[in-house]
Structure 1
Amino acid sequence: MDNQKISKELYKLLNGENLDTKQHEAMMLLTMTEDFWPHIAMISVGEIVAKDCTKLRLALWPNTTTTHNILRTSQATFVVFFAGKAHYIRLSLQRLTPLSNAKHTRERFSAEVVSVREDTAKYADITSGVKINLKDSDTVIKRWYEIIEELLR
């Protein structure tokens, strides 16, 4: 499948709701360094939100390699293993205006889905993606909700 919309199941994962039930999901955001090497960063459901099936928002730490790469290229590939599929989503990103009253300092980006490819194999099932355990889930999930709220402004 190659299109410009994320699936409904992926939208449901990224809709910014019920973060406590999604806290173990970790995803990858790939960008390109200045010397043309792929750079991989892990992100969580507290750093990305789907506004709909074609538009996402991301909140990234400032002054990181990932953020610098996006500011330079305006591109990234979002990779998530979910619901028995590998999802590869190419994104075109634009920096959002910083929020003067943000609770959490993040670089915020709007992302337009450029293309989506869902990958499965006839001979094997994808049974899991990257899974994490939060060390202080109450604090982290509270922060995630605050970040998602700020991303949607």
Structure 2
Amino acid sequence: MVDINAPHATSTARGDFDAWPCALQTLLDGMDIESKSSFTASLLAVDESARVRTSLLSVGELFVPDARTLCFALWSSSRTARAVHSTGRAALTFVFDEAFYQLQLNARPVSCGNFPLTCFVATIEAGESQRVDYARLTTGISFQLQQHKTVIERWYGQVQVLKRLASMHA
């Protein structure tokens, strides 16, 4: 029997940040999307009725233009998009490089013309990473594309829109 109250020799490494670490900037730089296509992040927002709304995002809906900014696109009809639009707040969570990341974001909607998604420009309010020495995080949520070429092409197009928005709102 294991005594869960006994002292144990494990450690948790936690890092706090308010700017994107270099490796994450590279991950979400809008380049080489095909090789990063299995990355998934969860964007969470609390709506006006205090319900948590979640959207899963890929490298095709996320773009980091600089050390403190995140541009992202959500389906306009999603409850998450409505929640972020009304509160201006969101959290982004994901697994990367064997660590769990969570970022608190201040977000504002920006016009993206007749683009079918709702676009936001967000600033990192606070971020943290966590890893433990007794286990390796290998994936968070992952997926496999069914129409790989079509989806990758769409993602490149979506990131191009996010890049234009980032340059207009810098």
Distance in 1 (CA, whole Å) between partners of 2:147 and 2:107 is: 31
Distance in 2 (CA, whole Å) between partners of 1:21 and 1:98 is: 27
The Cα shift of 1:128 comes to: 1.8
Aligned match for 2:131, one of 113, 120, 123: 120
User: Which structure's CA Rg is the greater one?
Assistant: 2
Instruction: Verify: 1:23 aligned to 2:37, yes or no.
Output: yes
The Cα shift of 1:98 comes to: 2.7
Partner of residue 81, structure 2: 67
Query: What are the ranges of 5 or more consecutive residues in structure 1 without an aligned counterpart?
Result: none
What TM-score results when the alignment is normalised by the length of structure 1?
Answer: 0.93
* 1:106-148 CA distance string (max 9 Å, x none): 1111010111100111222112222110000100000000010
Correspondences of 1:1-153 after superposition (within 5 Å)? 1-100=15-114, 102=115, 105-153=116-164
Aligned length: 150
Amino acid at match of 1:111: A
What TM-score results when the alignment is normalised by the length of structure 2?
Answer: 0.84
Over the residues paired in the alignment, what is the CA RMSD in angstroms? 1.1
After TM superposition, the runs of 4+ consecutive aligned structure 1 residues lying more than 4 A away are none
The Cα shift of 1:99 comes to: 1.9
> What SS is found at the alignment partner of 2:132?
coil
Amino acid at match of 2:110: L
* 1:36-95 CA distance string (max 9 Å, x none): 122222111100100012111011110210010011100100001011111101110011
Distance in 2 (CA, whole Å) between partners of 1:7 and 1:80 is: 14
Bigger relative contact order, structure 1 or 2 (CA pairs below 8 A, ≥6 apart) = 1
Distance in 2 (CA, whole Å) between partners of 1:108 and 1:127 is: 30
Amino acid at match of 1:122: D
Amino acid at match of 1:116: G
